[in-house]
Amino acid sequence: MSDPLVAHGLGYRYGQAWVFRHLDFHLPAGCLTAILGPNGCGKSTLLATLSGLKTPVEGAVSRQNSGLALVPQSLEPALPFSGLDMVLLGRARAISLFSAPGAADYKAAREALTRLEAAHLADRPFDVMSGGERQLVLIARALVSSSAVLLLDEPTAALDWHRQAHVLNLLRQLADSGLAVAFTTHAPQHALDFADHVLLMAGPERQFSGIPEDILSEEALSRLYQLPVKRLRLSGLACSTAIPVFRGYLSGSAVSPEGEA
């Protein structure tokens, strides 16, 4: 069975400035992929290109006809719908033309909100929600779409630590159930804790992909974020984590620590 999404030699530019080039990327079913890179490296543009919202300047994207859902960082302008109605928009593929949502659609929408610990947002107007609350509703909207591929642009950016962990665990479960899931993040520890695969976008023609433990070394992360990053292995956990040393940056410390702590 072929991967539900494959990109070959992908390239996109704004004017004459390339955001990324020669990028090969694939999303296997049952895999959770984290996409990392500094601000402006093209993470959001990549997701828009993979989803079909943007047309690549170079290369091509192959998608199986199994549905794809994109969760943006934000939705502007915010629509004056209830949280439940916003989630129901994700059922468009399952509702025939000129038909109204049925009991099964409402049940699926409420269950999606509950999975995200966001049932209390069902009746709240979307346009008065906080950024984090809107993010939960948009993720729930993607869940009810019955798509085989989920692309999420910084799904935890506006969430507190508890909800970050909850959402990331949910993405892990969705991948384990057979979906192809990719998310962008500025937190290497998200990739180290949950992802099977990582794509590191270090420059227009400098992309590195592989297993998080191998790709996200101290040296690679320190170069990427231009400040010292330490990898720590905590007692009782199978994976290691990454910790930025902000004061090290301010004091002019070296940004390429050697080895793992």
pLDDT < 70 regions, the chain: 1, 77, 93-99, 248-261
Amino acid type, 70: L
Helix, strand or coil, per DSSP, at residue 7: strand
Quickly count: other Cβ atoms within 10 Å of residue 28's Cβ: 16
Can you give the pLDDT at residue 93? 66
Query: Which two tokens mark 232?
Result: 């720590």
Instruction: Answer yes or no: are the C-beta atoms of 168 and 176 closer than 8 Å.
Output: no
pLDDT in tens, 235-255: 777 778 888 888 766 655 544
Query: Which two tokens mark 34?
Result: 């984290």
Can you give the pLDDT at residue 85? 93
82: CB partners within 8 A, 6+ apart? 122, 123, 124, 125, 126
Can you give the pLDDT at residue 95? 57
Predicted TM-score (pTM) of the model is: 0.88
Can you give the pLDDT at residue 76? 73
Query: Which two tokens mark 59?
Result: 């290369």
Instruction: Answer yes or no: are the C-beta atoms of 171 and 180 closer than 8 Å.
Output: no
Can you give the pLDDT at residue 182? 97
Alpha-carbon distance of 82 to 57, in angstroms, equals 38
Amino acid type, 14: Y
Q: What is the DSSP code string of 166-188? A: HHHHHHHHHHHTT-EEEEEES-H
66: CB partners within 8 A, 6+ apart? 4, 147, 148, 149
Structural domains in the chain, CATH included, are 5-215 (3.40.50.300), 217-261 (no CATH)
Quickly count: other Cβ atoms within 10 Å of residue 80's Cβ: 10
CA dihedral 138, 190, 180, 172 (to 10 degrees): -90
